[in-house]
Amino acid sequence: MTFDDIRTASVIRYPYLWARESVRGETEGRKPRPVAVGVRIPAPDGGDLLLLFPITKSQPTPDRFAVEIPETEKRRAGLEQNLRLWIILDEYNQDIVGQSFYLAPDCSLGRFSKAFFLPLMKEFVARRARTRGINRAR
């Protein structure tokens, strides 16, 4: 695995920092967890910018923008098959490949299909004004 393997719809391990933790002044994710790479685009200062969406086994409240991951997609993404899992899409972490303290080249678990993931990203773009991003790049 290399950093080149981290692309849109990839699922990787990453120490995600939740928005509620950031509000309390925390600066580090508590544990590495699966996250979905929402987008990878060239960053103005070098490297590539990633938007990372957390995957959780805790059922989100109805007011959250979240989608349950179907069995087939869990298999493709290298996720736990016997758990109910959700992608949270109303918050994200932002980081830069090649400059991150948190990304590792061997962090990839698998990948979601385009048919499943691209509609989620279109909906994210439509709701972008109501999302919360945390910049983890330093």
- Give the pLDDT band (50/70/90) at residue 1: low
Q: Give the DSSP letter of residue 133.
A: E
Predicted confidence (pLDDT) per residue in 88-128, tens digit: 999 999 999 988 889 887 788 999 999 999 999 999 999 98
Domain with 40 in it: 3-135
Q: How far are the Cα atoms of 34, 35, 126 from residue 108, in angstroms, in the given order?
A: 9, 10, 28
Predicted model pTM: 0.94
**Are 85 and 124 a contacting pair, CB within 8 Å?**
no
Q: Which residues are within 8 A (CB) of 134 and not within 5 positions of it... i.e. 6 or more apart?
A: 17, 19, 22, 91, 92, 93, 94
Q: How many domains does the chain have?
A: 1
Question: pLDDT tens across 11-50, in order?
Answer: 999 999 999 999 999 888 999 999 999 999 988 877 899 9
Q: How far apart are CA 67 and CA 116, in angstroms?
A: 10
> Residue type at 16?
Y
